[in-house]
Structure 1
Amino acid sequence: MRIVIAEDAAMLRDGLRMLLTARGHDVVAAVGDGEALRAAVAEHEPDVAVVDVRMPPSHTDEGLRAAIRIRRDHPDVGVLVFSQYVETRYAAQLLAEGAHGVGYLLKERVADVADFLAALDRIADGETVLDPEVVTQIMGASRRVETLATLSSRERDVLALMAEGRSNSAIASALFLSYGSVEKHVSQIFAKLGLPPSDHDHRRVLAVLRHLQA
């Protein structure tokens, strides 16, 4: 896998580079600010960019805003936001740019290197990987829309787990439900959110985006 790293902390940047290289990945660039990140992605067209949120010059949200630009300009490049911080406004916007091949993980909550590497693989394969705490904070910062208010408590539980990228089987296990019950809840969620079957739109992604942007 070809990877670009954007991290302003030099020791962490070098540590990530060494870790990924040791695991057989090709780190084509490791940079320390948003402008350098965008330039590196344009030059190398990596499979995934690993991006911190707060980078120079203001150390606020440059990395996340650069990630949004990358999603617009290079939609085939996966983006993993890897940070200590959740910037809810731009996180929702990042997902709105297209929820395939995108992830947002919190550094202090990644306890196992294998989980981090697995997340990279999933993002490179076009999946969505979200830390549950990221989902919770985005939800907390968002106001409820009328359509979401029609969901039952159980349907909201199912939708929250969908937002974490879980399959129906994983949701069934987490909520101690049968697979068939989860399928029924998912169908009800689609119906209540006005998401009919379509050959062109991924209803699961659209439902999650409604949930996060509410």
Structure 2
Amino acid sequence: MTRVVLADDAVLLRTGLRRVLEAEGFEVAAEAGDAEALLRAVDAYTPELAIVDIRMPPTWTTEGVRAAAAVRRRHPRVGVLLLSQHIERREALAVLEHRGAGGVGYLLKDRVCDIDAFVAQVRRVAAGGTAIDPLVVAQVLRRPAAASGIAVLSAREREILARMAEGRSNAGVAAELHLAERTVETHVRSIFTKLGLHEEPDTNRRVLAVLTHLSAA
């Protein structure tokens, strides 16, 4: 049974999520109303997944994102699914930048209304996968070249990008595809160029490239 910790200051939403998840066979080990309580619960129960509201007390800004990053540092195998009322580009990028062994996700709260789709995305993140809301992807990929998708990439570049989306480093991609790391680095630079990702630091460009891959999935 997949163990989950819920973190949201809205009691009604937490109660609704608990009922949905338990009806689908998940074990909700704990609920938290703020970031500190979330970290204590994750330390105590080591769940497969933490579902976290981006905005929590005391400032209702980015406490959830910072708490999610702390969860990943302390428990790299715990998946983190962030929920947000609004699309926030910086937070969307932060989700994938903190990707570790566990899955990552960023969904708008409206998606919870489609229970079947929401549960499928929860299962994906709990299993180590990625779930990014399509509206978030569309907002983040504001560059015309990136928004056009991955059709501009060669077959090898798409293969490398798929591994990047799974969280692999250049060295990890090279080992899996039996390529020299320098060759992978050359392909990654080509991917950035073809997708029009010129202005961001390398970490953000990598995240944006992954989001482009996800938008075409």
Global fold match (TM > 0.5): yes
Alignment correspondent of 1:57: 58
Structure 2 distance, partners of 1:36, 1:10, is 14
Give TM-score, length-normalised by structure 2: 0.69
8 A contact 2:141–2:208 mirrored in 1: no
Q: Answer whether contact 2:5 2:50 (CA < 8 A) is retained.
A: yes
**In the alignment, is the contact (CA less than 8 A) between 1:53 and 1:85 conserved in 2?**
no
2:156 matched to 1:187? yes
In structure 2, distance between residues paired with 1:40 and 1:106: 24
User: Which amino acid is 2:86 matched to?
Assistant: Y
Aligned partners of 1:156 and 1:11: how far apart in 2? 37
- Are 1:82 and 1:106, in contact at CA under 8 Å, matched by a contact in 2? yes
- 1:128-163, CA deviations, whole angstroms, 9 ceiling, x for partnerless residues? 1101111222334xxx7xxxx9xxx4x75334xxxx
| Structure 1 runs (4+) greater than 3 angstroms displaced | 182-186, 188-192, 200-204
Deviation string for 1:73-121 (max 9, x for gaps)?
A: 2110011112212332233122112265001110114442011111111
Tell me whether 1:129 sits opposite 2:131 in the alignment. yes
Where in structure 1 are there 5+ consecutive unaligned residues? 160-181
Distance 1:119 1:186 in 2: 27
CA distance 1:22–1:135, change in 2 (3 Å)? same
TM-score under structure 1 normalisation? 0.70
Query: d(CA) in 2 for partners of 1:139 and 1:93?
Result: 15
| Structure 1 equivalent of residue 20 of structure 2 | 19
Q: CA RMSD in A?
A: 3.5
Aligned-residue offset at 1:189 = 5.7
**1:211 paired residue number:** 209
SS of equivalent residue, structure 1 residue 158 = coil
Task: Give the secondary-structure state (helix, strand or coil) at the position aligned to 2:80.
Answer: strand
User: 3-state DSSP class of the match of 1:41?
Assistant: helix
User: What is the match of residue 90 of structure 2?
Assistant: 89
Kindly tell me the number of residue pairs found equivalent between the two proteins: 179
- Uncovered stretches (5+) of structure 2, i.e. residues with no partner: 162-169, 178-183, 192-202, 212-217
Aligned equivalents of 2:84, 2:131: Cα separation in 1: 14
- Could you tell me whether the CA contact under 8 Å between 1:92 and 1:212 is conserved in 2? no
